[in-house]
Amino acid sequence: MKTNRNFLSPADRAILVEITKDGLEEHRISRRANAILLLDKGWSFTQVAGALFIDDSTIRIWFKEFQESGVEGLVLFDLKGGPSALSPRQIDELRAWATEMLPTSTTEIGQFILERFGVDYGRSGLIKLMNRIGFDWKKPEPVPSKIDVETQQQFIDAHEDLRNSLGPDEAVVYVDAVHPTHQSKPAGRWLPRGQRCALPATSGRDRLNLHGAIDLETGQTRIMDVETVDAQSTIALFEALERSHSTMSRIHVFLDNARYHHAKAVQDWTQQPGRRIVLHFVPSYCPHLNPIERLWKVMHENVTHNKTYPKFRDFAEAVLGFLRKTVPQQFDEFSSTITDNFRVIDPKDFRILA
């Protein structure tokens, strides 16, 4: 017996083709998608069964499931909850509820489905269900409430104009402070199912106080390990920048609005005759507009995440070695991440959870 040829809608056909091409999709789900696509071409149940090396009764069950519950039924067929677990109307109700509530866990979703529809899903089934109806699990992004869109765009435009008009004897560097703490920082990773992993904990509370700068043109860094990040460390960093850029007539320094960067001692220093530092302040609440923040992120990913240093000295050497040597020597590896490709953050583009 053959089915009607071309019974699939364009949308369903596109989804099924995507499933068959997705190398990460489970094999049994891909086979169901293949079966329906072959039936859509006019193949008989027997022909499809022969091509997939299974009995034609299974093909008939899959086809019936597709007729009753669509692609969702195929995907969730053998998960806890059974075939046809949720009807299209129930799927729409679940989607509307999840859009309004933004559930934080599969447990919360499972309770809603059980109480509302009387269907009990397992965790893996819930994950597949939510993915298939258009939901991804994401952590909220921090967006400062006082961030201003127009101010960001003005800064980006001015920064771009400066970069495009630099003379051969001018340089641009980005300055900031960071305070990495001597503690183990667990980060997620893929493990074989059933295995658990652990990271030896360090209880040390010692931390580094680093005042640093990076030149994106060369990848060169200037990292100062200081007792306290303050006006004096700022001046010391500026003096180091002037020494390292001895051939430059002007050094444009982009930095945030920390109080010590605005200190009178710093202002007095920059106004001394012969000083070559020119300050440009990043808008308040906009760390994403200072590329050195990306350097700190890369440092943590490479040095502190899932790493343990029994002694603070070892921890300090690893951090400073990475920032002072590894980054400048291997900047080609990091230049695509540590960039000045800025973007405007508009709170209107986010659903604020408050």
Q: Is the pLDDT of residue 207 over 60?
A: yes
State how far Cα 258 lies from the chain centre: 27
Specify which of 176-185, 193-202, 307-316, 320-329 reaches the highest per-range mean pLDDT. 320-329
Q: What is the mean pLDDT of residues 89-93?
A: 90
Does 83 have pLDDT greater than 60? Answer: no
CATH number given to 149-184+201-349 = 3.30.420.10
Given a cut of 90, is residue 117 above it in pLDDT?
no
Q: State the pLDDT confidence band at 241, using cuts at 50, 70 and 90.
A: very high
At residue 338, the pLDDT reads 96
In this predicted structure, the answer to whether residue 145 has a pLDDT above a threshold of 80 is no
Residue 116: closest CA among 137, 88, 86, 136 = 86
In whole angstroms, what is the distance from residue 317 CA to residue 210 CA? 13
Q: Taking residues 264-293, what's their average pLDDT? A: 96
pLDDT score, position 205: 76
Lowest mean pLDDT among 30-34, 135-139, 191-195, 287-291: 191-195
- Other CB atoms within a 10 A radius of the CB of residue 187 amount to 11
Q: Please state the domain extents for the chain.
A: 10-132, 149-184+201-349
**Cβ contacts of 340 within 8 Å, gap of 6 or more:** 159, 163, 174, 216, 291
Dihedrals phi, psi of 254, to nearest 5 degrees: -100, 130
List the alpha helices (DSSP H) in 263-330: 264-270, 292-299, 312-321, 327-329
Residue pLDDT, tens place only, 319-337: 999 999 999 999 999 999 9
Q: Is this prediction's pTM over 0.75?
A: no
